[in-house]
């Protein structure tokens, strides 16, 4: 699936519009996306950091797209997730890259990393499991 | 909530109301119960949080965000003198598809607190279906003590 079609699918999902992100690249086992900062994403209003739940949601969305690029028809069912928060997500764009580490007949395991200005300085890392049946 | 002082309750209400912007305001969370045993919060149905065009299925991410928020509240209630609180890690199990337009109820508590770390767990269900949890989560938070109290920072806009 090409990036343009995938982004058209993204724009049809209410919660994805709430997160406000775009897919930047997509292939069989990877997806990269960029989320635009918005006041509704704030978790700490004093420091204006991203809410941890928004970061986890963005990572879950990117992971689901990497697993099932045609998610508009057959969405992957999330089973569970683990997120490690490494640095605060400050006001500004947030990037995510999802790698499908294993995709079987029934299950998929996806690792996701998010960063802002430097890919080497992760904001959070996550591991997501999906049910494909 | 007899074991929570009136002052603390006023602080909680004030802190919640001081959040003019941000996700918690957008989720329109209502605190239903607060005690040292834990907190119970309601999130009204919001079509923005759905994944399907019919807007009847909530995205798991919003449940994760809800748990993260309510863990923070449970810690604020359970621990005195915290100046900053940051989520270290978060684990969520999605137990059922979140198909409903009912309000979401979450119950969370801090089951262990140390000088530096707080440990939390919580459950999520649709109102009236407490026996059919849709998600369960656990988290740990890093705490900083001393300096500007978290409550003062939240309500008076001081950075800590």
Residues A48-90 pLDDT 10s: 999 999 999 999 999 999 999 887 777 789 999 999 999 999 9
ipTM higher than threshold 0.90: yes
Does A47 touch chain B if contact means CB atoms closer than 8 Å? Answer: yes
Residue in chain A nearest B159 by alpha carbon: A46
Distance, in Å, from the CA atom of A41 to the CA atom of A38, rounded to the nearest integer, reads 5
Contact B65 A58 (CB under 8 A): no
Distance, in Å, from the CA atom of B8 to the CA atom of B153, rounded to the nearest integer, reads 15
Nearest-neighbour CA in chain A from B28: distance (Å): 12
Residue matched to tokens 């947030």:
A94
Chain B positions touching A45 (Cβ under 8 A) are 18-22, 154
Here the tokens at position A104 are 């079987």
Distance, in Å, from the CA atom of B14 to the CA atom of A41, rounded to the nearest integer, reads 21
Q: How confident is the model at residue B159 (pLDDT cuts 50, 70, 90)?
A: very low
What integer pLDDT is reported at residue B147 of this predicted model? 75
Inter-chain contacts counted by CB atoms under 8 A, chains A and B: 125
pLDDT digits (tens, 9 = 90+) for A89-117: 999 999 999 999 999 999 999 999 999 99
Q: What total of structural domains would you count in chain A?
A: 1
Percent of chain B at pLDDT above 70?
A: 89
Q: Are B34 and B1 in contact (CB under 8 A)?
A: yes
The whole-chain average pLDDT of chain B stands at 88
Average pLDDT over residues A9-21: 95
Q: What is the pTM of this model?
A: 0.93
Q: Is B129 helix (H, G, I), strand (E, B) or coil?
A: coil
For residue A1, pLDDT over 90 is answered with no
Higher pLDDT, B153 or B104: B104
Contact B90 A56 (CB under 8 A): yes
Does A52 touch chain B if contact means CB atoms closer than 8 Å? Answer: yes
Residue A101 lies in domain: 3-131
Average pLDDT over residues A10-37: 96
Chain A positions touching B87 (Cβ under 8 A) are 52, 85
SS (H, E, C) chain A: CCHHHHHHHHCCCHHHHHHCEEEEEECCCEEEEEECCCHHHEEECCCCEECHHHHHHHHHHHHHHHHCCCCCCCCCEEEEEEEEECCCCCCCCEEEEEEEEEECCCEEEEEEEEECCCCCCEEEEEEEEEECC
What integer pLDDT is reported at residue A76 of this predicted model? 87
Nearest-neighbour CA in chain B from A27: distance (Å): 22
Distance, in Å, from the CA atom of B117 to the CA atom of B49, rounded to the nearest integer, reads 31
Distance, in Å, from the CA atom of A2 to the CA atom of A14, rounded to the nearest integer, reads 21
For residue B16, pLDDT over 90 is answered with no
Query: Residue A59's domain is classified under what CATH number?
Result: 3.10.129.10
Does B117 touch chain A if contact means CB atoms closer than 8 Å? Answer: no
What integer pLDDT is reported at residue B158 of this predicted model? 41
What integer pLDDT is reported at residue B19 of this predicted model? 66
Which of B14, B15, B43, B59 is best to mutate for the A interface (most A CBs within 10 A)?
B59
What integer pLDDT is reported at residue A73 of this predicted model? 72
């Amino acid at each position: 699936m090409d990036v343009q079609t995938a982004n058209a699918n993204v724009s049809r999902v209410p919660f994805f519009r709430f997160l406000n992100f775009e897919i930047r690249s997509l292939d069989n086992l990877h997806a990269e996306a960029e989320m635009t900062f918005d006041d509704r994403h704030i978790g700490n209003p004093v420091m204006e950091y991203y809410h941890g739940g928004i970061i986890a949601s963005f990572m879950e969305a990117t992971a689901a797209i990497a697993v099932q690029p045609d998610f508009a028809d057959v969405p992957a069912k999330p089973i569970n997730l683990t997120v490690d928060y490494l640095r605060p997500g400050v006001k500004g764009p947030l990037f995510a890259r999802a790698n499908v580490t294993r995709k079987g007949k029934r299950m998929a395991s996806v690792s996701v990393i998010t960063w802002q200005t430097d890919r080497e300085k992760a904001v959070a890392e996550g591991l997501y499991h999906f049910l494909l049946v | 909530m007899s074991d929570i002082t009136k002052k603390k309750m006023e602080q909680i209400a004030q802190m919640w109301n001081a959040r003019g912007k941000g996700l918690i305001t957008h989720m329109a969370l209502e605190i239903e119960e607060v005690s040292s045993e834990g907190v119970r919060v309601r999130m009204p149905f919001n079509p923005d949080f759905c994944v399907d065009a019919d807007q009847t299925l909530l995205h798991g991410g919003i449940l994760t965000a809800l748990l993260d928020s309510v863990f923070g509240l449970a810690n604020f209630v359970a621990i005195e003198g915290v100046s900053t609180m940051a989520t270290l890690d978060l684990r969520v199990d999605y137990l059922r598809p979140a198909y409903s337009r009912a309000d979401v109820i979450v119950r969370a508590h801090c089951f262990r607190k140390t000088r530096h770390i707080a440990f939390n767990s919580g459950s999520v269900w649709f109102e009236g279906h407490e026996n059919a949890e849709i998600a369960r989560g656990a988290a740990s938070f890093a705490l900083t003590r001393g300096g500007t109290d978290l409550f003062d920072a939240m309500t008076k806009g001081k950075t800590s």
